[in-house]
Amino acid sequence: MGNIVKVIDTQTINHLINQYNMETTGLPNGTIARKKIKSTQVQIYRSKKIMFQGKDAEQVASQLLGIKIESSQPQKTSTSNKVYNFDKHNTIGSDEAGSGDYFGPLTVCAAYVSKKNAEILKTIGVMDSKSLTDAKIVQLAEQIIEICPHSLIVLDNDNYNKKQLDGWSQVKMKAVLHNQAITNVISRIDENELEQIVIDQFVQASTYERYTASPMPRKDITFFETKGESKSIAIAAASIIARYAFVKHMDKIAKDLNMIIPKGASSKVDLEAAKIAQRYDMHQLDKISKKHFKNREKVLDLINRKRRN
């Protein structure tokens, strides 16, 4: 899904509003006009920025602005051609942790970051949680939760495994939890101040919407971004809180069992999981893990091989 932001002058703004009969009333604070053209949502902000979001974004932007819009290449690491600037708007970001880990819960967080607080978060060092140590995650999260309205949802292993047994894929679980967390945050802020919602993309937008248990609260201003932590400080903040909750739960598991509980789903995880199953039983292992991961089969194989030797 394309996402293009450009700065335009007042004359162009007035021309577009009149030419395309754009909607100008009942809009969120900070938005002065919007219109859906083809499959692309077009929004104009008081900051004189125009945003195009949709699969035809480049074509629609070229049509409205009369200039060629180069195709963005989100997989490249160069920032010279970025066409988004989420941190200039009051934004809710959402992300999750634990989805790729055999042990521990699935945690999802949505966080609201105003333009003012975006600068504060940058000052204290908020960035992509994947580049931070667990100690730094804890330190930053405890500051962020005091600054930003947020909603944290923890799906523990028992409930995760029940949902999975009921036929829920992990993607559906994440979609439902992201949508609920975002809805919770909107209820805790002045919605008129909200300008954007940005979700760290884990599935196509159409699939996300199909999986959510309830309607998306503000579909008109919702964006999906791959590698979102590096593009939006609101996603980075949500990611840190989600990771913080995951780390705390993992620490509790390790303390309760008096064992090392590794993160991820590697062969090292298999070995530690086998130790837990042998010291306790498979039921105890299932209570602290995601049963549908292939690690469980590998644990059973390790135990059987040891019994044969």
**Binding site residue list for a divalent metal cation:** 95-96, 200
**Any idea of the CA torsion for 274, 275, 279, 280, to the nearest 10 degrees?**
-40
Q: 260: which 2 tokens?
A: 């090392």
Distance CA 302, CA 273 (A): 10
Main-chain dihedrals φ then ψ at residue 178, nearest 5 degrees: -60, -45
Residue 292 has which token pair?
A: 């549908």
Question: Phi and psi at residue 112, in whole multiples of 5°?
Answer: -95, 125
Residues annotated within a binding site: 95-96, 200
Alpha helices in 3-156 (DSSP H): 10-19, 57-65, 115-124, 134-147
Q: Would you say 253 and 288 are in contact if contact means Cβ atoms under 8 Å apart?
A: yes
Q: In the block, which residue shows the tokens 């130790």?
A: 275
CA distance 86 to 221: 12
**Range list of β-strands (E), 130-263:** 150-155, 196-200, 222-225
Describe the crossing of helices 115-124 and 233-257 by its angle, rounded to 10 degrees.
50
- Helix (H), strand (E) at residue 256: helix 233-257
Structure tokens, 279: 């010291």
* Calpha distance 109→103 (Å, rounded): 19
* Structure tokens, 53: 């979001």
